[in-house]
Chains A and B, each alone.
Chain A
Amino acid sequence: MTTNSKNTISPESKITKRDFWKVFTRSCTLDSAWNYERQQHLMYCYMMIPVLKRVYGDDKEKMAAALQRHMEFMACTPHIVTLLCGITGAMEEENAKNPNFDATSISAVRTSLMGPMAGVGDSFFWGTLLTIAVGIGVSFAKEGSILGPILFLAIINVPGFAARFYCLKAGFGYGVRFFSDMSATGVIEKITKAVSIVGLMAIGAMVATQVSFSITYKIGVVSGAGEPIQNYIDQIMPAFMPLVLFGVMYWLLGKNIKTTWILVAVIIISCLGVFLGILG
């Protein structure tokens, strides 16, 4: 296989643009054969294979060592895992070129970066972006508009696949320097903070629009014509109940109560409330 510098990702690298796209495509399988023991390890290794084949060629011994290295535990956000792929890929290439390179540093980088990366990635994709996608998607879907599901998929996947691409590019480009540069300028903390702000505002908005609850039980001076309790609550603050409910749920989760039990309790209390005429 001939590799001229035009088809490689950078003049100094042996890794071709085709390898780049192979890794990109393979990164889409990261959540497939998930397992309790090492989570995403099989897919991470699968993803690295095009790079490993390119840099180690027919050297079975080094290939075996590299495959085993990437079969170690892996847990990361799938949309940005390509950053780590690029970084470890660049390191594998260095390892193939330089006999003094310490291969254990690849495992070290892999292990130490996946946690912080998953922290940023999970809060961005599953905390913030998912909330926004659900918020916008559901507001259309509840009206019966097909735009709901379409917008939902677009809001998650356009940034998702863009992140996958740019992370892989950045990973290969910077190699191991990437994260030391990032933490030096405090970029990680800034991104985390910005993401948390957007996410929490979106969650606040969703609590106000999508959680509903009202107490229809009437209280009055004498029996008979009274006003539902809800009318009094609404005078103090509309959507007070959704806020209280959110607070209760947050508190319960903080007590490590399983969500399934909370769910069952909510259903029983709702049905019982209707049965007793307090709700409805």
Chain B
Amino acid sequence: MLVTQTILIGILYFISQMDGFFGTSLIGRAIIMGPLTGLIMGDVASGVMIGGTLELAFIGAVSIGAYDPPDVASGTILGTAFAIKAGAGPEVAIAMGLPVSTIMQTVIAIAWGLLPTLFMHRADAFAEKGDAKGVSRNMFVAGFAPIVAVFWIVPAAYYFGSDAVVNLLGNIPEFITTGMDIAAGIIPAIGFAMLAEMIMNKKVAPFFFLGFFLIQYFGIGTTAVAIFAVIIAIVIVQLSSNQPQTKQEEDGFDDF
């Protein structure tokens, strides 16, 4: 049982790390990894709920440019697996998952700092010779090398840490589990602030409050706010474009 789970967790984590090969489709996010870990542990419903809670805690973890986000997948997989095994709730998964993600972030940053560079310079040499195959080959090796170098840590932690962690989780004082529950309500604010930082400017700042108070005073859901937001955005952009429309001639596509 433990061995099968360990192997499946290894495969799941490996796939999550390959997201960059699959069109950055965000398969490694908590909301996806939670249910899949739940499937491995035999409790999909808990996995879905834990995944949802962790997703909020990790919402700011987006890799943009050179910013290293916490490794969401490892934290979610181990947090969910241990929480389900200990029969505990999402707050325990967060208590486990956040430190795991932060530690793995460091390990991953080291692996990605060292390994791709090696193959990158080999790819440069192939490019100089005009050898496209050599470039492609080195790109794939550069992409897989760091994943292979670190992915085994997660299944190993599950295999060797299982008993100890589950025992430990049973003995956590209550003020810590309640505290983590409260922290779980606050942590999403960090992520939302990070997202807002990316798109906020003085001209559009009032719309943040519009979204906030629509929910507060009208009690409509997030989906409804999103629909209204799209309509408002279209109307405002159309109103503000009062300059005469310069129609582009469709005069052949490929001449510059």
Q: Which of B27, B56, B62, B132 contacts A126 (CB 8 A)?
A: B62
B64, A126: Cβ atoms under 8 Å? yes
Assuming the contacts A75-B65, A141-B52, A193-B203, asked whether A202 and B229 have C-beta atoms less than 8 A apart, the reply is: yes
Number of residues of chain B lying within 8 A (CB) of chain A? 116
Measured in the bound complex, the distance between the Cα atoms of B256 and A279 in whole Å is 66
User: For the complex, is A103 an interface residue (Cβ under 8 Å from B)?
Assistant: no
A28, B23: Cβ atoms under 8 Å? yes
Q: Which of A30, A38, A205, A206 contacts B188 (CB 8 A)?
A: A206
Closest to B126 in A: A67
Q: List 7 contacting pairs A-B, 8 Å CB cutoff, sorted by A.
A: A135-B222, A144-B45, A153-B25, A204-B209, A213-B186, A245-B186, A273-B182
Assuming the contacts A126-B195, A206-B192, A249-B193, asked whether A42 and B123 have C-beta atoms less than 8 A apart, the reply is: yes
A186, B49: Cβ atoms under 8 Å? no
- Which residues of B line the A interface, CB within 8 A? 18-27, 29, 31-32, 34-35, 44-46, 48-49, 51-53, 55-56, 59-60, 62-66, 70, 98, 102, 112-113, 116-117, 119-120, 123-124, 126-130, 132, 135-136, 138-140, 142-143, 175-176, 178-180, 182-183, 185-190, 192-201, 203-205, 207-216, 221-223, 225-226, 228-230, 232-234, 236-237, 240-241, 243, 245-246, 248, 252-256
Q: Give the chain B neighbours of A116 by CB distance below 8 A.
A: none
B222, A205: Cβ atoms under 8 Å? yes
Q: Which of B21, B98, B226 has the most C-beta atoms of chain A within 10 angstroms of its own C-beta? A: B226
Q: Which of A29, A79, A118, A198 has the most C-beta atoms of chain B within 10 angstroms of its own C-beta? A: A198
Measured in the bound complex, the distance between the Cα atoms of B231 and A201 in whole Å is 12
Q: Which of B98, B201, B222, B234 has the most C-beta atoms of chain A within 10 angstroms of its own C-beta? A: B222
Measured in the bound complex, the distance between the Cα atoms of B212 and A34 in whole Å is 37
Q: Give the chain A neighbours of B179 by CB distance below 8 A.
A: 267, 270-275, 279
A203, B208: Cβ atoms under 8 Å? yes
Q: Per-position contact with B for A116-157: 1 when CB-CB < 8 Å, else 0?
A: 001000110011101110111111111111101100110011
Q: Give the contacts of A206-230 with B (CB-CB under 8 A).
A: 206-213
B135, A190: Cβ atoms under 8 Å? no
Q: Give the chain B neighbours of A186 by CB distance below 8 A.
A: 241, 243
User: For the complex, is A33 an interface residue (Cβ under 8 Å from B)?
Assistant: yes
B212, A148: Cβ atoms under 8 Å? no
User: For the complex, is A194 an interface residue (Cβ under 8 Å from B)?
Assistant: yes
CB distance from B157 to the nearest CB of A (A): 20
Chain A residues touching B, majority SS: helix
Assuming the contacts A153-B27, A243-B212, asked whether A63 and B132 have C-beta atoms less than 8 A apart, the reply is: yes
CB distance from A45 to the nearest CB of B (A): 6
A32, B32: Cβ atoms under 8 Å? no
Number of residues of chain A lying within 8 A (CB) of chain B? 127
Q: Give the chain A neighbours of B178 by CB distance below 8 A.
A: 274, 280
Q: Give the contacts of A137-183 with B (CB-CB under 8 A).
A: 137-146, 148-149, 152-153, 156-157, 160-161, 164, 173-177, 181
Closest to B109 in A: A36
A197, B176: Cβ atoms under 8 Å? no
A127, B199: Cβ atoms under 8 Å? yes
B188, A279: Cβ atoms under 8 Å? no
B64, A142: Cβ atoms under 8 Å? no
A130, B62: Cβ atoms under 8 Å? yes
CB distance from B145 to the nearest CB of A (A): 8
Q: Give the chain A neighbours of B34 by CB distance below 8 A.
A: 141, 149
Measured in the bound complex, the distance between the Cα atoms of B192 and A245 in whole Å is 10
Q: Give the chain B neighbours of A31 by CB distance below 8 A.
A: 19-20, 24, 63
Assuming the contacts A196-B201, A197-B207, asked whether A134 and B256 have C-beta atoms less than 8 A apart, the reply is: no
B192, A246: Cβ atoms under 8 Å? yes
Q: Which of B29, B120, B183, B194 contacts A37 (CB 8 A)?
A: B120
Q: Which of B56, B138, B199, B222 contacts A195 (CB 8 A)?
A: B199
Q: Which of B102, B183, B200 contacts A200 (CB 8 A)?
A: B200
B132, A181: Cβ atoms under 8 Å? no
Q: Give the chain A neighbours of B175 by CB distance below 8 A.
A: 271, 274-275
B26, A29: Cβ atoms under 8 Å? no
Measured in the bound complex, the distance between the Cα atoms of B236 and A194 in whole Å is 8
A208, B216: Cβ atoms under 8 Å? yes
Q: Give the chain B neighbours of A143 by CB distance below 8 A.
A: 49
Q: Which of A49, A53, A202, A252 contacts B225 (CB 8 A)?
A: A202
Q: Per-position contact with B for A248-277: 1 when CB-CB < 8 Å, else 0?
A: 111011100001101100110011111100
Assuming the contacts A138-B52, A181-B248, A193-B204, asked whether A198 and B237 have C-beta atoms less than 8 A apart, the reply is: no
User: For the complex, is A68 an interface residue (Cβ under 8 Å from B)?
Assistant: yes
Q: Give the chain A neighbours of B142 by CB distance below 8 A.
A: 33, 35, 42
Measured in the bound complex, the distance between the Cα atoms of B136 and A263 in whole Å is 40
